Amino acid sequence: MDKRERFQRYLKGEPVDRVPLAIFHHFTTRSEWLKGLQSEAIFEKNIMGHKAAREKFDPDVIKVMNDSLMIMPVDVSGVETAEDLRKIQPPLPGSPFFEKTRELTERVLAFYEDSEAPKYVTGFSPAMILKTSMNLTFPSLPNTEPKLLQLLKEDPEAVAAALDIIADSVITLDEMLIRECGADAVYLSVNNQAGYFPGGVYRKYIAPSEKKVLAHANSLSDMTLLHICGYAGLANDLRLYEDYEAAAFNWAVHAEGVSLSEGKKLFKGKPVFGGFEQEGVIYKGSREELEKAVFAILDDAGQLGVMIGDDCTVPADIDDTRLQWVREACEKYAKEH
């Protein structure tokens, strides 16, 4: 099977010659994230990292890692009250963020022109975007509740309205990246790590904007992947997402303590992916230990509707040769089972 056929069969829950891999890492350091509009050097480092990585490993699933841009910047400097959130204006087509995102996406995907693997762009939920913008603009003092949570208590409807405004901008961006830049689908990241928003509040005021973005992504492609972002003990309540619609689901197996087989049941038999811990055996284990881990994941989850991945991203300085070890372990497992 070629990479696309294998992936399509995975999404349909059909037999494959081996399970595919979707393991990703950043190409810049955490201190360089979001700095691509200010630093051309960081922007270039982000792009060229993909080229160097592909020279060591040709992925089953291609994902544009937009480290240097990542979270859409929203100007919230004028927000004093919750009502002010209704006036925010996220970036639109023609803005520096849109144009740099276009450039990054097109240049990265050019490295994979000869690959039949599915090509994804990384997207973020309106809540992640607003939370990041608020935290950068209004950093919390010790023992002080974050500004966004204060505004949520003041007027949750205003927060929901702001998220809806941001959702429209995200939708416009996704439309551009898929229809104009050559991507196949969106890899949408959502989270409510450590219960940042109370569960009932999340369902009523946060989820609608995420479902709006997700519905549009699904209208553009039948391959949308949902990444429920958890790591390093920052877990999510997966029940918040059990009614979300996506082609496949990923979550932090180790942070949440929910195995792939258990997640399959929660998400009503939909395809799932994951299994590895970010900085565990995939990063520092021996080849034999890594193979043993692959076998344990597949013993638990089976090979139908399953793709090997990790809790979030693996460390940026990982030796990409190790991903080939994972693939070879999947091939060996398929031959033996």
Angle made by CA atoms 101, 106, 112, in degrees to the nearest 5: 135
The amino acid at residue 249 is F
The contacts of residue 41 (CB under 8 Å, 6+ apart) are none
Under 8 Å between Cβ of 260 and 306: yes
pLDDT at 240: 97
Tokens representing 5 are 């056929």
Q: Which residue in 40, 112, 109 sits closest to 69, CA to CA?
A: 40
Give me the domains of the chain, ranges plus CATH numbers: 3-336 (3.20.20.210)
Pairing of strands 248-251, 62-64: unpaired
Each residue's pLDDT expressed in tens, for the chain with a length of 337 residues: 999 999 999 999 999 999 999 999 999 999 999 999 999 999 999 999 999 999 999 999 999 999 999 999 999 999 999 999 999 999 999 999 999 999 999 999 999 999 999 999 999 999 999 999 999 999 988 889 999 999 999 999 999 999 999 999 999 999 999 999 999 999 999 999 999 999 999 999 999 999 999 999 999 999 999 999 998 778 999 999 999 999 999 999 999 999 999 999 999 999 999 999 999 999 999 999 999 999 999 999 999 999 999 999 999 999 999 999 999 999 999 999 9
Question: 59 vs 3, 117, 120, CA distance in Å?
Answer: 9, 7, 12
pLDDT at 83: 98
Radius of gyration of the CA atoms of the chain, in A: 20
pLDDT at 122: 97
Distance from C-alpha of 134 to C-alpha of 147, rounded to nearest angstrom? 7
pLDDT at 233: 78
The amino acid at residue 4 is R
Give the predicted TM-score (pTM) of the model. 0.97
pLDDT at 143: 85
Distance from C-alpha of 35 to C-alpha of 43, rounded to nearest angstrom? 8
Mapped onto helix, strand or coil, the DSSP state of residue 136 is helix
Distance from C-alpha of 97 to C-alpha of 71, rounded to nearest angstrom? 10
Buried b (16+ CB within 10 A) or exposed e, 66-90: bbbbbbbbbebeebeebeebbebeb
E strand map for the chain: 62-64, 119-124, 185-190, 225-228, 248-251, 272-276, 306-310
